[in-house]
Structure 1
Amino acid sequence: MGNLSSEAQSAQLWMEQLSLEDRAVLELCNAADVDPTVAQCAAKISWKEQGFQVQPQETGELLLVALSNTPHQGEILQQVGTAPLMRLNFQIDGDQRLILAGTQDQFHLEERVWFASPNLRLRISLLKQANQLYQATWYSEVRMGVLPEPAPEELPHAASTK
């Protein structure tokens, strides 16, 4: 049997919507050789995470720019800190799940993201190398704080309790 490992972490996330004219957005589009006028939206996600074992606290930052001509599919430019730019294809399926896929170097990433409820986001990430599973990760993410109650018709079908 191969090496198996398990770990648990806690993280705090901060999300900030960025203007399409923000310098970081323009620089990311330029690095990807993309016309910034085709960008639909942009965000910066910052985090602070701590493992449950004796591990130092880690911080990071992710810049995202969504490019799309249709509401349910397109491309996302993504850069974590000073790491190389990654291009991910995205689509939103009939059950309102976000499906991301992209290749960088010899690694292929597939990720599925969906909401089980307005405050609970679930995420599965698969990292493959040479068509072999390299890493599988499961995330459950709870949004803290009070949210306004959405109208029932605004809830995704998968989260409906009817």
Structure 2
Amino acid sequence: MDFSDFITQCAGKWFSQRTSHTIPPQALEAGTSDFWIDLIEPGDSTLLERCQSVGIAPEQVTCAIRTHWQGQVGTANQPNSGATFSLFVANDDPQQGQFWRWSEDKSDTSVIQGHYHLGEDEALNLSASTDSLTSEERLWFLNPNLRERTSVVTHKAGPRYASFCSEIRMGLK
């Protein structure tokens, strides 16, 4: 599978079950959510705007996605929702490159820049760093409708969080 095929396989509506905790282990937190991953067409106005904001020509973009979610997090079952916009640009090797991710919350204007690599094991590895945190994320498919995801987020102030998600495709829309 190549990177573009991996991203295309991610498109659709998903149900996620997530378990996370701080490292070293403390209280466990669990949650569920529905989320949608939409592929972005090359001429999309948001894509063009985002490319301009980071100095990338739109024809350099390998692919772009919009992800939005809603769900329940933690023992208090607090509702949670949000959306992000991500674009990917390959290096000389199309299996790896850079990505940029923006929150679609108008009050958050920050952009996260990182690197991606799709390994020979067909797992996608994403790593990013900001002034306040670093993150490592790994995604892979057990079959076309079942995806697994792990992540470790380290805040520069000290706390580290690890999570595991099992994600089931619920449909294409």
User: Structure 2-normalised TM-score?
Assistant: 0.74
- 1:85-100 mapped onto 2 (5 Å cutoff): 85-100=111-126
Q: Is the 8 A contact 2:31 2:77 kept in 1?
A: no
Question: Partners in 2 of 1:19 and 1:2 — Cα distance?
Answer: 42
Match in the other structure for 1:78: 101
- Note the residue ranges of structure 2 that are not aligned, 5 or more in a row: 1-22
Match in the other structure for 1:32: 54
Question: Partners in 2 of 1:56 and 1:130 — Cα distance?
Answer: 26
Q: Is the 8 A contact 1:10 1:52 kept in 2?
A: no
Question: Partners in 1 of 2:162 and 2:118 — Cα distance?
Answer: 21
Give the length in aligned residue pairs: 146
Letter in 1 for 2:163: T
Could you say which structure has the greater relative contact order, defined with CA pairs below 8 angstroms and 6 or more residues apart? 2
Q: Is the 8 A contact 1:126 1:133 kept in 2?
A: no
Matched, 1:63 2:85: yes
Residues 131 and 99 of structure 1: CA distance in aligned 2, closer, same or farther (over 3 Å): farther
Structure number with larger C-alpha Rg: 1
Match in the other structure for 1:106: 132
Residues 132 and 97 of structure 1: CA distance in aligned 2, closer, same or farther (over 3 Å): farther
Matched, 1:48 2:74: no
User: Structure 1-normalised TM-score?
Assistant: 0.79
Residues 93 and 21 of structure 1: CA distance in aligned 2, closer, same or farther (over 3 Å): same
Sequence identity percentage: 26
Matched, 1:19 2:45: no
- Note the residue ranges of structure 1 that are not aligned, 5 or more in a row: 147-162
